[in-house]
Amino acid sequence: AELATLEFPPKKLFGNKDERVIAERRSHLEKALEKDRERLEHEIQQLKQKICEVDGVQKGHHRTLEGKAPSPSLPSSTEKSHLVPLMDARINAYIEEEVQRRLQDLHRVISEDADASADVVKDNEKLHNGTIQRKLKYERMVSRSLGANPDDLKDEHFEFEV
């Protein structure tokens, strides 16, 4: 006995207007993503071209020193295969230098902030000590006015007589 397969039409979760809005947003996001991808690929090509130019100048310089004229043609396939890892290594080295520079800047800013925060802590301690001293003086004055024993207040007595 064969089982019958039932097919149901897909439910419409959104109305036609909502579907159009979603499709437009998706299209816009896909276009933006494609533009970003193309921009990055273009920047990568520019970096590779600059590296090739630098390598060409260096190789040309070495060849002229050896008495050979630099060839204007593109490098051979074996030179290209060696060039790719070299380009990757240079790009990675550049990225590493940039990361190190940014880390140094960050450490410098953090150390400056730490110095400033240490000064703030010292200032806060001075302020806190001053507040406590004023509070103690006020409490002594109040206790004196309430008839505290003068022998208990001998040291403080001179603070307020001027």
How do residues 81-97 score in pLDDT, each as one tens digit? 566 777 777 888 888 88
How do residues 118-135 score in pLDDT, each as one tens digit? 676 777 777 777 777 777
Distance CA 34, CA 41 (A): 10
Say if CB 155 and CB 140 are below 8 A apart. no
How many angstroms separate the first and last alpha carbons of the chain? 115
Q: What is the pLDDT of residue 16?
A: 72
Summary mean pLDDT of the chain = 71
- Which residue from 128, 136, 125, 127 is spatially nearest to 160, judged by alpha carbons? 136
Q: Which helix (H) or strand (E) covers residue 48, if one does? A: helix 16-66
Q: Is the pLDDT of residue 42 over 80?
A: yes
Question: What is the number of other CB atoms lying within 10 angstroms of the CB of residue 3?
Answer: 5
| Residue of 40 and 116 predicted with greater confidence | 40
Q: Which amino acid is at 125?
A: E
